[in-house]
Amino acid sequence: MKYIEEFQDPALAERLLGEIRAAVTRPWALMEVCGGQTHTIIRHGIDQLLPDEVELIHGPGCPVCVTPLEVIDKALEIASRPGVVFCSFGDMLRVPGTGRDLFQVRGEGGDVRVVYSPLDALRIARRNPDRQVVFFGIGFETTAPPNAMTVYQARRLGIPNFSLLVSHVRVPPAIEAIMRSPNCRVQGFLAAGHVCSVMGTGEYPELAARHRVPVVVTGFEPLDILEGVRRTVLQLERGEHFVENAYPRAVRPEGNPAARAMLDDVFEVTDRAWRGIGVIPDSGWRLSPRYREFDAEHRFRVSGIDTREPSACRSGEVLQGLLKPHECEAFGTVCTPRSPLGATMVSSEGACAAYYLYRRLDLPSAASRHPEGSPVV
Amino acid sequence: MSETTEAPDVLAWTCPLPLRERPRVVMGHGGGGALSAELVRDVFAPAYGGPALSVTGDSATVELGGARLAFSTDSFVVRPLFFPGGSIGHLAVNGTVNDLAMSGARPAYLSCGFILEEGVETGVVRRVAEALGEAARTAGVEVATGDTKVVEAGHGDGVFINTSGIGLVPPGVDLRPQRVVPGDVVIVSGPIGAHGVAVMSVREGLEFGVEIESDCAALAGLVETMLAVTEDLHVLRDPTRGGLAAALNEIAAASGTGVVVLERAVPVPAPVANACAVLGLDPMYVANEGKLVAFVPRAHADAVLAAMRAHPLGREAAVIGEAVADHPGMVVARTGLGGTRVVDLPLGEQLPRIC
């Protein structure tokens, strides 16, 4: 665990920055796919340290941000029912559905619990056979395997009162959609290292070749990010576009075969809506037919959901790298973490929240004139 | 949602409604962050606030019969009741003693109210009471009055404790954020984050490879040591809920100065840093129960730091930053790599991230 300090070494960071500065001859726009990477970039001020020619564009890789409103409304509806224990990772509790969030459901008497592993939810189900226990299964290729494992275990152990509310998403189709967008400015990708640690690198070579775009698998510590940027810039400067693994300590080309086998067994690929973006073909997973009985949507027959999304904010553009958070008129004025317009401001990994929390001092927006964080009493 | 499209449909991009009003209390209202402050501002202060009500400091300073008294109250609802390095009994004493000490007071007397849940074992209550007594003796305070209530099973969490305390503020001591001026040196009395991570490790059954103990301790002795160097300390704060970030933000806002923190100078024990990295938490926001942060005039900073380091509870005291004239009301960190970032007041509770 001493890695954390080592991967933040200022001297090594300066050396990588020097190599990036020396290599750059013209402007390049790179997208870091994952919200965790965005968080590292902003928290450590990496974007301030890179040469002006290198622009980092924040991608759609925040699982909380992209979970569609309709699914959150379904979660709220199920969590409100008597006899239900609704389990979720912590950061989903604050994401607004239509008019309220899971924290409020809990405040109204709903049994909403934060768990650190989906297997904790399964344990709760075993201990409470008279209750229906639902786990909110959201996220990318990183969280999907353990959630799949939980359903697999539920069936194997015969735990009938457990179910999964599924809204899993896959990264490669999102990259494909971004590259096909007529407004796309992205010239290179820092692929999400933890996604590749599960899925391997095999999904990217064809994408890189077809769109002539470098894809560098990148980790999450500051030095990982700088190394990812360095390699992407070198490829771009040389006119190359291939898949590189800059995160070999975690990522093998074949990924994690056991996790992939679990995904293949429990889930099947489906079209999936991304909040703020819309439906992307083949971009999600749902439970395969033989596990349908563990599907919370199927079990609870959630209907009559009145999902309403006013078109006030521009998080969809932020999620696709078409807009920087502070370029939105609402940023820091009507839209803050306290009163978010969009999920990108709610989630701690959302690009808007990262900009608001860490960077509003030097942004030319109203936010710096209205520091919401200042206590008023 | 919209129909399947080959490329994202710009016109279909939409966003959710804001949640400006919360009709019911949520956990974040007790988190010591912006939601807590809002509750005090909008509900409590208008209802019963008077000239003596302190809504910013840890305790109120009031005059009575010619004496200057610090007066404070706090409630303790920690789960589990016993954790590595302490218990709810230790917290109930040290929390209130520290709130008084942050006014520069010498804590003297405590009240102690127990709210017990029907069904809790008397043996557990005894252990809590003994821990409380031990903490009071260590802190040099006396429990002078108390109260016991029992609520029906299911209406409590075993044992809740409220303590109030009074102490004498020595003449010449005036600790208030309003006294902070640009140039003041910011000192923290030791490594941060241990209490929050210790409680989380037992509450959530998380294991981090090494046991992390709470830093729970009474700080009145340390404060006395510091005041012996100079009465001219500007402000003290114990960074409990909301952590160091909340304490610095409160001082910045109340003083109207900016605060710059050197991120690499903030002492964080390696096990705490690692646990936070795993959970996606920022140690700056994690609760402490035996640490203080001090704003000290530059001329006295070296002497105060030396005195703190000579005290058992300040051995690892460190200068972590300074008050500045720039960005009034805001806390800014200089990152290890040389960038800068805003350190904001937390909204409510920190939430472990999904991945």
Phi, psi of B9 (to 5 degrees): -95, 105
B contacts of A377 (beta carbons < 8 Å): 37, 40-41, 45, 55-56
Residues in chain B with CB shorter than 8 Å from the CB of A369 are none
Beta strand B258-262 pairing with B106-117: unpaired
Strands A215-218 and A243-245: parallel
pLDDT of A83 above 80? yes
Whether residue B2 lies within 8 A of chain A, CB to CB, comes out as: yes
Top pLDDT among A362 and B142 is at B142
Amino acid at B345: L
b/e for B306-331, b at 16 or more Cβ within 10 A?
ebbeebebbeebbbbbbbbeebbbbb
**Residue in chain A nearest B343 by alpha carbon:** A358
Q: Sheet containing B106-117: which strands, arranged edge to edge?
A: B60-64, B67-76, B159-168, B106-117, B142-151
User: Can you give the pLDDT at residue A4?
Assistant: 66
Residue A245: φ, ψ to 5°: -105, 100
Least CB–CB distance from B336: residue in A8, A69, A312: A8
In sequence order, the 6+-apart residues with CB closer than 8 A to the CB of B338 are A10, A45, A49
Amino acid A317: pLDDT: 84
How deeply is A290 buried, as exposed, middle or buried, from its count of CB atoms within 10 A (0-12, 13-18, 19+)? exposed
Note whether A204 and A174 are within 8 A (CB). no
Check A309 against B9: CB less than 8 A apart.
no
| pLDDT (average), residues B253-262 | 96
Residue B1: per-residue pLDDT: 37
Query: What local confidence, expressed as pLDDT, does residue A94 receive?
Result: 80
Residues of B in contact with A362 (CB under 8 A): 340
Q: Mean pLDDT throughout B332-340?
A: 91
DSSP line for B234-280: -EEE---TTHHHHHHHHHHHHHT-EEEEEGGGS---HHHHHHHHHHT
pLDDT band at B71 (very low <50, low <70, confident <90, very high): very high
- Could you report the per-residue pLDDT of B207-242, keeping only the tens digit for each? 777 788 999 999 999 999 999 999 999 999 999 988
* H or E element, residue A62: none
Q: Identify which of B8, B19, B34 has the shortest CB distance to residue A320.
A: B8
Does A282 contact chain B (CB < 8 Å)? Answer: no
pLDDT for B158: 92
Nearest-Cα residue of chain B relative to residue A176: B7
Residue B3 has a pLDDT of: 37
CA pair distance A105, B185, nearest whole angstrom: 45
Supply the pLDDT for residue B303: 98
The pairing of beta strand A84-88 with beta strand A132-139: parallel
Half-sphere exposure of B270 (CA within 13 A, CB side): 8
Average pLDDT, chain A: 89
By Cβ distance, the residue of B206, B277, B351 closest to A93 is B351
Chain A nearest-CA distance from B337, in A, is 5
Q: Per mean pLDDT, which range of A247-256, A282-291, A302-311, B160-169 is the poorest?
A: A302-311
pLDDT for position A311: 59
Q: Which amino acid is at A364?
A: P
Q: Please name the helix (run of DSSP H) or strand (run of DSSP E) that holds residue A296, with its range, or none.
A: helix A296-300
Q: Is B16 close to A360, i.e. CB distance below 8 A?
A: no
Residues in chain B within 8 Å Cβ distance of A342? 15-16
pLDDT band with cut points at 50, 70 and 90 for residue B353: low
- Tell me whether residues B5 and A107 touch, CB distance under 8 A: no
B234-267 per-residue burial string, b: 16 or more CB within 10 A, e: under 16: bbbbbbbbbbbbbbbbbbbbbbebbbbbbbbebb
Report whether A140 contacts A89 (CB < 8 A).
no
Residue B342 sits at the chain A interface (C-beta within 8 Å): yes
Contact present, B217 and B104 (Cβ < 8 Å):
no
**Helix residue ranges per DSSP H, A52-157:** 63-66, 69-79, 102-107, 118-127, 144-157
All residues of chain B having their beta carbon less than 8 Å from the beta carbon of residue A48 are 339-340
Q: Is the dihedral of CA A241, A246, A252, A256 positive or negative?
A: negative
For residue A193, list chain B residues with Cβ-Cβ distance below 8 A. Answer: none
pLDDT tens column, A45-65: 999 999 999 999 988 888 888
- Establish if A182 touches chain B: CB-CB under 8 angstroms: yes
pLDDT in tens, B22-68: 677 877 787 666 777 788 888 888 888 888 887 666 789 999 999 99
- For B119, left (φ over 0), alpha (ψ -120 to 50), or beta? left
Q: Report CB contact under 8 Å: B342, A143.
A: no
Higher pLDDT, B127 or A353: B127
- How many residue contacts between A and B have a Cβ separation below 8 Å? 232
CA separation, residue A352 to residues A321, A328, A345, A365, B74 (Å): 12, 10, 5, 13, 36
Across the beta sheet with A54-61, the strand order is A54-61, A28-34, A188-192, A215-218, A243-245
Nearest CB neighbour to A90, from listed B38, B336, B352: B352
- Cβ within 8 Å, pair B274-A1: yes
Determine the Cα–Cα distance for residues A321 and B54; give it in Å rounded to an integer.
46
Tell me the per-residue pLDDT of B100-116, one tens digit each, with 9 for 90 and over. Answer: 999 999 999 999 999 99
Integer-rounded Cα radius of gyration of chain B: 21
Instruction: Quickly state the pLDDT bin for A241 (edges 50, 70, 90).
Output: very high
pLDDT band at B354 (very low <50, low <70, confident <90, very high): low
What's the rounded Cα separation, in Å, for the pair A354 and A56? 14
CB contact under 8 A, B18 and A335: yes
User: Alpha-carbon distance A375 to B251, whole Å?
Assistant: 9
Q: What residues 235-264 of chain A have any CB closer than 8 A to a CB of chain B? A: none
Report pLDDT for B355. Answer: 53
Q: Is B2 within 8 Å of A278 when comparing Cβ atoms? A: yes
DSSP string, B26-89: -GGGGTTSHHHHHHIIIIIHHHH--TT--SSSSSEEEEETTEEEEEEEEEE--SSSEETTEEHH
Mean pLDDT over all residues of chain B? Answer: 88
Q: A177: which residues sit within 8 A by CB, 6+ positions away?
A: A277, A280, A283, B7, B8
A355 or A237, greater pLDDT: A237
Q: Is the dihedral of CA B49, B51, B54, B56 positive or negative?
A: positive
Q: How far is CA A289 from the centre of its chain?
A: 26
- The nearest CA of chain B is from the CA of A158 a distance in Å of 25
For domain A18-307, give the CATH number.
3.40.50.11740
- Region B167-180: mean pLDDT is 95
Query: By the CB < 8 Å criterion, does A80 face chain B?
Result: no
Contacts of A264 (CB under 8 A, 6+ apart): none
A-chain residues near B327 (CB < 8 A): 361
What residues of chain A lie within 8 A of the CB of B203, using their CB? none
Q: Determine, for residues B345 and A375 on separate chains, whether the beta-carbon distance falls below 8 Å.
A: yes
3-state secondary structure of B174: coil
Report the C-alpha gap between A373 and A263 in whole angstroms.
42
* DSSP 8-state assignment for residue B134: H
Check CB contact under 8 Å for A97 and B16: yes
- pLDDT tens digits, one per residue of A334-351: 888 777 777 788 776 788
pLDDT in tens, A120-177: 999 999 999 999 999 999 999 999 999 999 999 999 999 999 999 999 999 999 999 9
Of the listed ranges A305-309, B256-260, B334-338, the one predicted with least confidence = A305-309
DSSP A9: -
Give the pLDDT of residue B138: 96
Quote ipTM for the complex. 0.70
Residue A93's pLDDT is: 86
- Which of B76, B102, B237 is closest to B163 using CA atoms? B76
Domain coordinates in residue numbering, chain A: 18-307, 314-358
Q: Is the pLDDT of residue B8 over 50?
A: no
Taking the Cβ of residue B9 and every Cβ of chain A, the question of whether any pair is shorter than 8 Å is answered with yes
- Chosen for mutation from B10, B14, B41 (greatest number of chain A CBs closer than 10 Å) is B14
Do residues A254 and A196 make contact, with C-beta atoms less than 8 angstroms apart? no
Residue A139's DSSP bridge partners are A168
Say if B15 is an interface residue toward chain A (CB within 8 Å). yes
pLDDT at res. A88 = 95
Highest mean pLDDT among A2-11, B56-65, B130-139: B130-139
Q: Biggest alpha carbon distance in chain B?
A: 79
pLDDT of residue A372: 42
